[in-house]
């Protein structure tokens, strides 16, 4: 089952990269202003729980796999679709693909999940799902993204992890 997921994923990714773009002319939105940091943000002695803006800042610059734009610029990610529960060590991110039949939805979800898993303390449980009603296969994609074994198997795929690393790489400014 895991091998089939990986084969289908690689096949879809390669076909998308080698053929025409699925969403040839996406809407591009203005980026949010950078967060203003306070003295307390820099003070390690002050308890600083995670909030939705901090999570958004961690993932807003993930690169879209199809376009030279960030997920924030495409409104795939929005701060209003992020939930943080520090008491329960839980972060939930809903993302909105640019088109209802986007074949890159699983890659986008994996990229968000990997970025958060690498950045957050291990005590946090991370849930990444498609914003309800925005994708033709949202249940199937959400099921894949929630399956820890499938995600682990996908991340053992050298080609796939290279693609994810490209998506989450922050450009040098």
Interval 14-42 mean pLDDT: 65
Compute the distance between CA of residue 147 and CA of residue 63 in angstroms, rounded to an integer.
Answer: 24
Question: pTM score, two decimals?
Answer: 0.80
Paired with 95 in beta bridges are 130
pLDDT band for position 40 (cuts 50, 70, 90): low
H or E element that contains 5 = helix 2-18
Compute the distance between CA of residue 53 and CA of residue 38 in angstroms, rounded to an integer.
Answer: 14
Helix H segments across 19-157?
Answer: 39-42, 52-59, 105-119, 138-146, 148-155
> Rounded to the nearest 10 degrees, what angle do helices 105-119 and 52-59 cross at?
120
- What is the domain partition of the chain in residue ranges? 1-19+84-173
> Does residue 34 have a pLDDT over 60?
yes
pLDDT (tens digit per residue) in 127-158? 999 999 999 999 999 999 999 999 999 999 99
Compute the distance between CA of residue 20 and CA of residue 141 in angstroms, rounded to an integer.
Answer: 22
């Amino acid at each position: 089952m895991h091998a089939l997921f990986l084969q289908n994923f690689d096949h879809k990714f390669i076909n998308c990269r080698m053929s025409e773009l699925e969403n040839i002319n996406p809407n591009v939105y203005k980026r949010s202003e950078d967060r203003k940091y306070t003295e307390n943000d820099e003070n390690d002695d002050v308890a600083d729980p995670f909030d939705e803006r901090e999570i958004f800042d961690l993932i807003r610059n993930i690169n879209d796999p199809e376009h030279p734009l960030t997920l924030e610029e495409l409104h795939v990610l929005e701060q209003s679709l992020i939930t943080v529960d520090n008491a329960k060590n839980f972060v939930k991110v809903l993302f909105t693909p640019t088109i209802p039949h986007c074949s890159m939805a699983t890659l986008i979800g994996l990229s968000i999940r990997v970025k958060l898993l690498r950045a957050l303390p291990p005590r946090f449980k991370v849930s990444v799902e498609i914003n309800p009603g925005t994708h033709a296969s949202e249940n199937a994609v959400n099921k894949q993204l929630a399956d820890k074994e499938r995600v682990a198997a996908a991340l053992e795929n050298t080609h796939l992890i290279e693609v994810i690393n490209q998506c989450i790489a922050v450009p040098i400014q």
